[in-house]
Amino acid sequence: MISYRLEATSGHARAGTIVTRRGDVPTPAFMPVGTQGSVKALSAQEVAATGARLQIMNTYHLWLRPGPERVAELGGLHEFCRWPYAIATDSGGFQAFSLAERTKLSEDGFEFASHLDGTRLKLTPEEAMRIQGLLGADIAMPLDVCPSGSASPAEVVAAVERTTRWAERCLVARSPGQALFGIIQGGANVELRLAHAETLGRLPFQGLALGGFSVGEPPALMHRALGEIGHRLDPNRPRYLMGVGTPEDLLIAVGAGIDLFDCVMPTRNARNGQAFTWSGKLTIKNARYRDDPLPLDPECRCSACRGGYSRAYLRHLFVAGEILVLRLLSEHNLTLYARLLEQARAAVVAGRYADFAAERLAVFRNLADTGDSG
């Protein structure tokens, strides 16, 4: 089980600690995404060296391969993946909806065909809890219904109601000792979100998550909704914004009172050759870096930057298709994300979060312009 300790606030922004039996997680915190039990291109030690102390892994993928029974027999995810710190797992519902084929949604759950071999599978709230219990994460997520950004108001309401019923079933079916967060839906409808937050807040979840953001809506809409919702979530529990986002998104969400994030962006963009730096984005394959002897970011502490790898060498590796560069850029981006939230935490403790966020946003605004908010 986990607990949350609130330590300081600055406006709505919070500094706290999630206490787990696998160590403390200072918040706000970003969770690197280890989809299939590995943050792509990185070893567990390298992920830890970026500063991360909580990793999120993917129930859908690990269910299909290698299978939760196998993971359990091999000692659970921590032992299997050699990650000694805390792990969260999502419920698998999002992938059952977005990645699997011929998905049918009913009150019972999702029925779908595996994207790997077409096997017909069924994911119910109870099955999601059983799988996550076997995987052995510190924090599990309940099965929820996540409507798309273009869903009708009626569809959004129906999704909220079913998500509540499933949340209650997950609480009954949860594994002993495993923390469970409630997932708040409601799209961009702030009233609906707040009502759902109140409903779920009455249930014994260890944290509250905002699902269904960053599903195609304009970033400004999400930012506005977060400003209305974030600080109204129960202050005694960690608040998790699922699947978000850019450095700008993180700064705005922390200002709205959010504590926890996950997103594939820093690692996925790295593999596409994009580095986030303290002075803006850097697309390593650009010809302008051909002869550039500087590191990616002279202000960065990551092993790529401290190791003396020049932009010219990194560009060469990227253009030549060398695997090493995928790792170096991934380490760099995750380090920047972790450092950004460490700095945010320090600013909260110092009581100057608004100033800090305004300074950083001025730099990162051009990054958000990529429109790449996966």
The residue from 22, 316, 342, 343 that contacts its own copies (CB under 8 A) is 316
The beta-strand segments (E) located in the chain are 3-10, 13-20, 23-27, 29-31, 33-34, 54-57, 86-89, 101-105, 110-113, 120-123, 139-140, 179-184, 207-210, 239-241, 260-262, 274-277, 280-283
Site for its own copies in 118-147 (CB under 8 A): none
Structure tokens at 284: 């390593």
**Which C-beta is closer to its own copies: that of 46 or that of 259?**
46
Instruction: Respond yes or no on whether the N-terminal peptide bond of residue 28 is cis (omega within 30° of 0).
Output: yes
Using the rule CB under 8 A, is 73 a contact of its own copies?
yes
**Which C-beta is closer to its own copies: that of 37 or that of 230?**
37
Q: Could you tell me the smallest distance in angstroms from the CB atom of residue 241 to its own copies? A: 27
Using the rule CB under 8 A, is 37 a contact of its own copies?
yes
Of the residues 24, 90, 297, 372, which is catalytic? 90
The set of long-range contacts for 360-364, using a CB threshold of 8 Å and a minimum separation of 24, is 360/247, 360/251, 361/248, 361/251, 361/252, 363/278, 363/279, 363/280, 364/246, 364/247, 364/248, 364/251, 364/280
As a whole number of angstroms, the distance between CA 34 and CA 55 comes to: 7
- The number of residues that bind its own copies (CB under 8 A) is 38
Tell me if residue 24 is catalytic: no
Site for its own copies in 155-214 (CB under 8 A): none
Using the rule CB under 8 A, is 301 a contact of its own copies?
no
Sign for the CA dihedral angle at 239, 302, 299, 323 comes to negative
**Which C-beta is closer to its own copies: that of 148 or that of 310?**
310
Site for its own copies in 217-276 (CB under 8 A): none
As a whole number of angstroms, the distance between CA 226 and CA 215 comes to: 14
Using the rule CB under 8 A, is 310 a contact of its own copies?
yes
Angstrom distances, CA of residue 146 to CA of 91, 164, 183, 190: 12, 12, 10, 16
Could you tell me which stretch among 15-23, 41-49, 180-188, 192-200 binds its own copies (CB under 8 A)? 41-49
**Which C-beta is closer to its own copies: that of 18 or that of 305?**
305
Q: Could you tell me the smallest distance in angstroms from the CB atom of residue 100 to its own copies? A: 16
**Which C-beta is closer to its own copies: that of 104 or that of 306?**
306
CB 143 within 8 A of CB 91: yes
Tell me if residue 262 is catalytic: yes
Of the residues 144, 249, 262, 297, which is catalytic? 262
Known catalytic residues are 90, 262
Binding site for its own copies (CB under 8 A): 36-38, 40-43, 45, 61, 65-66, 70, 73-75, 80-82, 290-291, 293, 307-310, 312-313, 315-317, 319-320, 322-324, 326-328
